[in-house]
Structure 1
């Protein structure tokens, strides 16, 4: 196993952080461009949202298949396949002359992104010692967040200054160079053993998780939370470039710096859990996020930015607690459970955009508050149901379902 502070450790952590960074840069590159692309293709806000939703939706449905494939062909090979495909797909977008072609290529990009996102943590678990992994995972998650912020700001700024094609070309070149660095620096796996016949195990585990209300409710909650969080930002992008603000796309893309409030709140969840209940924390985060949505109604840039900061703080707080809840409450196949949570998470982000942008299109931010409030009501209902499930589990503790464990239980830690 690779130990903390060793040269191999630095190679693994830097390589995976760089790979994660470019994955999330590419995933969110087009989000600030949506107002520009709506004009470019002469389509509505809800129609142009397919450019963003196609990639997140494709990523969500491909996470588990890529994870299963990596059991046979290896984590490193799967990750590199995804990274190599990204700049090629990006360059192909330059010749797309219709919204349909662009959406199809963005969906293909989501498939490529899922290859890396689905197995990077499994690679770390297998190759790093427990102490080294505990340190490395923090840098990996930070790279996710920074990649998302950077991709959005770069996409908006370059589109505003040079055009969307130049933004795509720049990201493709950067992705290609970064992929070469990862290929050279990421060590080959030494602790991976190919597994055969895992598909049936995964399928049975997925069914069991979906039948477990304590887990599935948290997955639904995570999906609704992300549907609100990421798409309130999309709507705000359209709001800032329209009258009366008329901000350039490059300046409007700076709103994504408000994501840093979520980076702070995700770290504070560990403090909350020491003396408070996780479900109450999910509800608290949602109340803070709801408050931000309402404050953003005030048509002032200062209040809109304050609203976004609160939305980010609350949504990340809720997401971190829900994600940890799923991992803790799963009595078997924890890796499959967390992957299934991410499936719900990204599907929620894909679908939520059409709903909130429809509200924006037909009634401005006032209608967004009405539509968003309905989604927040769903979150609070799910929190109540989760609390009931938790109370019942305290009265009658559940035993692990050992009947569906894989023959090689080492997979459980992957």
Structure 2
């Protein structure tokens, strides 16, 4: 096993962190560009949302298949296949002459993104010592968040200055060069041997997890929470570029810096779990997020920024605890359980956008608040049902956003 301080440890840590950074740059590049793209293609906000939703939806669908494929062909091969295909898919977007072709290519991008996201943590678990993994995972998770923020801000600023094609071209070039660095840094696995015949194992595990009410409720919590979180930001992007504020896309994209409030809150879940139950934390996080949506009602930059910070703080808090719940409550095949959680998570983000953006189109932020309140009511109802499962504070262990899927051969899987 690779130990802290060794050259291989540095290579694995920074190689996977760089790969993660690039993955989330690509995933969220188009989110701040949606208002611009709606004008460019002369379509409604709901129609243009397919550019963003196609990637997240495809990502959610292919997480488990890629995880299974990595059992047969190896983690490193699967990760590099997905990562190195991204620049070519982005270049193909530059040649697309219709919204439909762009949406289809963004869906293909989501398939490629899932390859890296599904097995990166499994690679770390299998190659690093327990102490080395505990330290390396923090760098990997930080890269997740920073990649998402950088991708969004780069997308908004470059589009506003040069056009959406240049934003895609820059990210494609950055991904290609970064991918070459990842290839050089990431060593071939020594503690994992690919094996065939894992499909039946995963299918049985999926069925058992879906029949487990405790797990399924937490997965639904994660899906609804992300549906609200990521799409309230998308709607806010449309709101900021519309009258009376009429901000340029470059300035509107800076709202994604508010995500940093969520990075802080996800780290606080450990302290919460030491004194309170995870369900109470999920309720608290959802309540804070709900208050943020209400605060953002007022047409002032300060109010909107404060509202988004509260939304981020609460949503990350809820997500971390819900994800942890699934990991701790799964009695077997924990990797498959966390994969299913992420499937619900990204599907929720995909579908929720059409609902909240539809509300925005037909009634502004007030209508968004009304539609969002329905989703928050569903969240609180799910929390009540979860509380009937006799949750205990010791069942809680913090996990961070976008932690990838571990394979059934990983060390954590046996714990």
Which bracket does the TM-score occupy, shorter chain normalised?
Answer: over 0.9
Q: Post-superposition shift, 1:6?
A: 1.0
User: How far apart are the structure 2 equivalents of 1:6 and 1:354?
Assistant: 48
- 1:128-277 mapped onto 2 (5 Å cutoff): 128-277=128-277
Task: Give the distance between the partners of 1:97 and 1:413, measured in 2 at CA.
Answer: 50
Encode CA deviations 1:334-393: one digit per residue, 9 max, x unaligned: 01100110000000000000000000000000000000000000000000000001269x
SS of the aligned residue for 2:76 comes to: helix
Partner of 1:400: none
Query: 1:20: which partner in 2?
Result: 20
Q: CA deviation at 1:412?
A: 2.6
Tell whether the 8 Å contact from 2:125 to 2:410 is kept in structure 1 after alignment.
no
Q: Match for residue 291 of structure 2?
A: 291
CA distance in 2, matches of 1:332, 1:34: 41
Partner in structure 1 of residue 61 of structure 2: 61
Match of 1:398 in 2: none
Alpha-carbon deviation of 1:194?
Answer: 1.3
CA distance in 2, matches of 1:259, 1:129: 31
* 2:281 aligned counterpart, secondary structure: helix
CA distance in 1, matches of 2:385, 2:140: 33
In the other structure, the counterpart of 1:101 is: 101
* Structure 1 contact 214–390 (Cα < 8 Å) conserved: no
Maintained 8 Å contact 1:71/1:194: yes
In the alignment, the residues of structure 2 paired with residue 138 and residue 316 of structure 1 have an alpha-carbon distance, to the nearest angstrom, of 16
Deviation at 1:87, TM superposition (A): 0.3
Please name the residue that 1:399 is paired with.
none
Q: Which residue does the alignment assign to 2:400?
A: none
| Structure 2: unaligned runs, 5 residues or longer | 395-406
Larger deviation: 16-25 or 135-144?
A: 135-144
The CA deviation string for residues 149-196 of structure 1, in whole angstroms up to 9 with x for no partner, is: 000000000000000000000000000000000011111100111122
* Structure 2 residue matching 1:390: 3-state secondary structure: coil
2:390 aligned partner: 390
Distance 1:146 1:59 in 2: 19
- What is the CA–CA distance in structure 1 between the aligned matches of 2:5 and 2:291, rounded to whole Å? 43
| Structure 1: distance between partners of 2:288 and 2:413 | 35
- Please name the residue that 1:30 is paired with: 30
Tell me how far apart the structure 1 counterparts of residues 65 and 244 of structure 2 sit (CA, whole Å): 46
Is 1:349 aligned to residue 367 of structure 2? no
Report the Cα distance in structure 1 between the residues aligned to 2:140 and 2:268, rounded to whole angstroms: 18
For the Cα contact (< 8 Å) 1:262–1:314, is it kept in 2?
yes
User: How much is the aligned-residue C-alpha RMSD, in angstroms?
Assistant: 1.6
Give the Cα–Cα distance (whole angstroms) in 1 for the partners of residues 408 and 122 of structure 2.
18
Q: CA deviation at 1:410?
A: 6.0
2:172 and 2:389 map into 1 onto residues whose CA distance is: 47
Partner secondary structure for residue 270 of structure 1: helix
| C-alpha distance in structure 1 between counterparts of 2:209 and 2:88, whole Å | 36
Query: What is aligned with 1:397?
Result: none
Distance 2:408 2:365 in 1: 53
Distance (Å, rounded) in 2 between the aligned partners of 1:76 and 1:318: 32
Q: Is the 8 A contact 2:13 2:136 kept in 1?
A: yes
Q: What is the DSSP-based 3-state SS (H/G/I as helix, E as strand, rest coil) of the residue aligned with 1:26? A: helix
- The 2-side partners of 1:391 and 1:243 are apart by 47
The CA distance in 2 between the partners of 1:39 and 1:408, in whole Å, is 49
Looking at structure 2, the residues matched to 22 and 318 of structure 1 have their Cα atoms a distance apart, in angstroms, of 25
Residue 412 of structure 1 corresponds to 413
Change in Cα spacing, 1:155 to 1:162, as seen in structure 2 (3 Å) is: same
Post-superposition shift, 1:408? 6.8
CA distance in 2, matches of 1:86, 1:116: 11
Classify the secondary structure of the residue corresponding to 2:366. Answer: helix
Aligned residue pairs total: 403
3-state SS of 2:187 partner: coil
What residue number does 1:323 align with?
A: 323
- Residues 258-301 of structure 1, C-alpha deviations (whole Å, 9 max, x = no match): 00000000000000000000001000000000000000001111
* Post-superposition CA distance 1:282-337 (Å, at most 9, x none): 00000000000000001111000000000000000000000011000000000110
Question: Could you tell me which residue of structure 2 aligns to residue 40 of structure 1?
Answer: 40
